[in-house]
A and B are shown apart, each in its own frame.
Chain A
């Protein structure tokens, strides 16, 4: 994609622990275009959150970005000095998190937190900042935004809090928002309301989203593009429709077979055998090998992420359809 706003190239984030180096993110590449939503999918521990934190350069010690580029509007974030990076956060790229109960400071009023977020980037009076904050709340569909400014987070429901977090992320009209499973903790009807809202915001404001989730049904209804992550690497990527219609990587196929809404009616739900490997003991070659039904000897070497048809896949024996 040449019109990409954010393009991550060969990103590597490793954790230097006592048990050894954990390669939580090991050569991840993807890109997102203006107003588009990329679904970043994968099992727990596959490195989705670490990828998100890396883009904002908010990885906690002992984690460190050790390689790759993070091109945001053509500028490499990995090379910015700390102050330039701070000015980028919130203004050009923002992030929201999974647990709406924890992301807002429990002892500060919504208005106080929003005003601080606004003043981090523009010189403005508190009164004007409050007006902007109110407008931002209205934008994400929060009723009576004026009153909400003066309440504490615990006065709001989980769904409302997540809307507030989204409003805060949108304050400076960033080019990209990284959303780390923001609807996982919410019930299904609230989730679908928020997903619809996000779709509308992406279309209206041109903000691009990287939507981290392990829920394929969320991705299929929300995302334009999809990137499937396994053990720190992207194993398959492409337009959502194309990938989901014909998954080529055995892992993607396995994921889909285990989701009720994706499996064909009457077909048995199959869990992928085995469990997510520990990063400390990855197998040689393809990380998915011990769980893969198609594995052969050649899989002891790492396959590259290569274009195949209209998507990309990292597999020696991709599932290709046979013209029957």
Chain B
């Protein structure tokens, strides 16, 4: 198990290094931030000075190594626009995105997993077919379109919920959060639902496929032959078996949900990292873009690692193979 852990850490480190190079080169290729940063009427001298000051005159690999050196000291640089350290900037926006993504994932699980299990348990029922249609919609409807529809319906037409923003927050351990107050909820629920739809569809399909397979297995027949209640057959035998793929997907999707909250945050004007990054791209605020993308890579790698380890906890057969 320990050897397995070390091996995974090394793999993860390689991925992070490779991705950081890609990100750096990619962002460099997008455009020159100097043009955006300074007054077009500025003299060539001011321009050259600035270029030198930011080190844009040096070769790319040198810029990269300076950047890595700084990062290793915990310094991702300063935002060109806001003139504050980018890490502070990102971390100040992170709680909002985190809360939104977590809310979306929980909503997706709480709704998606039971519906999926039901659809797998009674595959021929009308309700199951309706559920599957729903999951296809959740899958395929574009997030921004559903988002706009939600705003139109619940905010503009019905006036039930606010159309955007985060509203007032309350602090928990110094972190501003929405879910502690009913008002906070009223701002959170629409964007969370919007962001949840895709994963809801995914979890429904996953839970259904797993349940369908488990229901025809010998161990379910045997459990029934022992006189177990159907609730126990499903709640113990089936659930434990389908939990492995579900935990994997939950973990992996949590990463992408965080990263792709961009669309939802833009529609609902949610003050999270996604909105920050869109704004930064508009003005070519390189340090923010690079730091954000590298943090996303780190996040994915860490989540993958955790999921892999959890996998072993959940599936004893894998645990046995690894320690062998």
Minimum CB–CB distance from A132 to chain B (whole Å) comes to 13
Bound complex: CA of A186 vs CA of B223, how far in Å?
22
Among residues 74 to 126 in chain A, which have CB atoms less than 8 Å away from a CB atom of chain B? 86-91, 94-97, 99, 102-108, 112-113, 116-117, 120-121
Closest to B124 in A: A61
Contact A108 B229, CB 8 Å, known A99-B218, A103-B218, A154-B320? no
Which chain B residue has the least Cβ–Cβ distance from A112?
B236
Q: Which of B1-9, B173-181, B310-318 contacts A (4 or more CB under 8 A)?
A: B310-318
Point out the residues of chain A lying under 8 angstroms from B58, CB to CB.
none
On chain B, the residues within 8 Å of A102 by CB distance are 217-219
Asked if B52 is an interface residue, CB under 8 A from chain A, the answer is no
B314 cross-chain contacts in A, Cβ below 8 A: 107
* Chain A nearest CB, measured from B1 CB (Å): 16
A99 to chain B, nearest CB (A): 6
Q: How far is the CA of A97 from the CA of B316 in the complex (A)?
A: 23
A86: B residues at CB distance < 8 A: 227-229
- Find out whether the CB atom of A168 lies under 8 angstroms from the CB atom of B226: yes
Minimum CB–CB distance for B120 against chain A, Å = 15
- With contact pairs A97-B221, A104-B219 given, residues A87 and B237 touching in the complex (Cβ less than 8 Å): no
Indicate if the CB atoms of B225 and A94 lie closer than 8 Å: yes
CA of A168 to CA of B219 in the docked complex: distance in angstroms? Answer: 12
Complex Cα spacing A103 to B216, Å? 12
B241 touches A105 (CB 8 A): yes
- In the bound assembly, the distance between CA atoms of A298 and B315 in angstroms comes to 61
Q: Which residue of B lies closest to A85 (CB)?
A: B227
- Cβ of B240 and Cβ of A116 under 8 Å apart? no
How far does the alpha carbon of A86 sit from the alpha carbon of B219 in the complex, in Å? 16
Chain A residue at smallest Cβ distance from B314: A107
Report Cα–Cα, A90/B218, bound state, in Å.
15
Whether B91 is near chain A, meaning CB under 8 Å from some CB there, is: no
Q: A105-B241, A108-B236 are in contact. Are A90 and B229 (CB under 8 A)?
A: no
Contact for B228 among A96, A99, A107, A116, CB less than 8 A = A116
For A90, list chain B residues within 8 Å (CB).
225-228
Partner of A105, one of B216, B224, B237: B237
Is B222 positioned at the interface, with any CB of A under 8 Å from its CB? Answer: yes
Task: Tell me the chain A residues, 152-189 only, with Cβ under 8 Å from chain B.
Answer: 152, 154-155, 165, 168-169, 171
Least Cβ–Cβ distance between A293 and chain B, in angstroms = 39
> A104 to B224, alpha carbons, bound, how many Å?
12
Say if the beta carbon of B244 comes within 8 Å of chain A: yes
Report yes or no: A121 in contact with B222, Cβ–Cβ below 8 A: no
Set of chain B residues within 8 Å of A87, measured between Cβ atoms = 227
B218 touches A89 (CB 8 A): no
Q: Which residues of A contact B159 (CB under 8 A)?
A: none
Taken together as a complex, chains A and B put the C-alpha atoms of A168 and B225 apart, in Å, by 10
Q: Which residues of B contact A155 (CB under 8 A)?
A: 320
Q: B229 is contacted by which of A58, A96, A104, A120 (Cβ under 8 Å)?
A: A120
Give the interface size bracket for B toward A: 20 to 34
Q: Could you say which of B221, B224, B225, B240 contacts A108, with CB atoms under 8 Å apart? A: B240
Is B241 within 8 A of A107, CB to CB?
yes
Contact A89 B217 (CB under 8 A): no
Q: Are B240 and A107 in contact (CB under 8 A)?
A: yes
Contact of A91 among B218, B227, B320 (CB under 8 A): B227
A88 x B227 contact (CB < 8 A): yes
Partner of A106, one of B226, B228, B317: B317
- Residues in A with CB closer than 8 Å to B316 are 106-107, 152, 154
A61 to B192, CA, bound (A): 40
Q: Could you say which residues of chain A place their CB within 8 Å of the CB of B236?
A: 108, 112, 116
How many Å from the CB of B179 to the closest CB on chain A?
A: 33
Q: Are B317 and A108 neighbours in the complex by a CB distance under 8 Å? A: no
Residues in B whose Cβ lies below 8 Å from that of A106: 219, 241, 316-317
B232 contacts the other chain (CB 8 A): yes
Contact B216 A120 (CB under 8 A): no
Interface string of B188-230 (1 = CB under 8 A from A): 0000000000000000000000000000111101111111110
B218 neighbours in A (Cβ, 8 Å): 97, 99, 102-103
Give the chain A neighbours of B228 by CB distance below 8 A. Answer: 86, 90, 116-117, 120
Q: Which residues of B contact A3 (CB under 8 A)?
A: none
Contact partner of B227 (CB less than 8 A), chosen from A60, A108, A113, A120, is: A120
CB distance from A124 to the nearest CB of B (A): 14
Name the residue in B217, B225, B315 with the highest tally of chain A Cβ atoms < 10 Å from its Cβ: B225
Contact with A along B243-269 (1 / 0, CB 8 A): 010000000000000000000000000
Bound CA–CA A86/B216 (angstroms): 18
Residue A56, interface by CB 8 Å: yes
Q: How far is the CB of B210 from chain A (nearest CB, A)?
A: 12
Complex: A155 Cα to B320 Cα, angstroms: 9
Tell me if B219 and A103 are in contact (CB < 8 A).
yes
CA gap between A113 and B226 in the complex, in Å: 10
* A91 to B232 alpha-carbon distance, docked (Å): 16
Determine the chain B residues whose CB is within 8 A of the CB of A112 once the complex forms: 236
Task: Decide: B317 and A152 in contact? CB cutoff 8 A.
Answer: yes
Complex interface: chain B residues within 8 A of A171 (CB) = 226
Residues of A within 8 A of B227 (CB): 86-91, 117, 120-121
Nearest residue, chain B, Cβ from A87: B227
The interface bits of chain A over 128-166 (1 if a CB of B lies within 8 angstroms of the residue's CB, else 0) are: 000000000000000000000000101100000000010
Interchain Cβ contacts under 8 Å between A and B, 6 examples? A97-B218, A116-B232, A120-B232, A154-B316, A155-B320, A165-B222
| 7 tightest Cβ-Cβ pairs between the two chains A and B | A90-B227, A102-B218, A90-B226, A89-B227, A95-B225, A152-B316, A117-B226
Kindly list 5 other residue pairs between chains A and B, CB separation below 8 angstroms, not including A96-B222, A97-B218: A106-B241, A107-B315, A107-B316, A154-B316, A155-B320
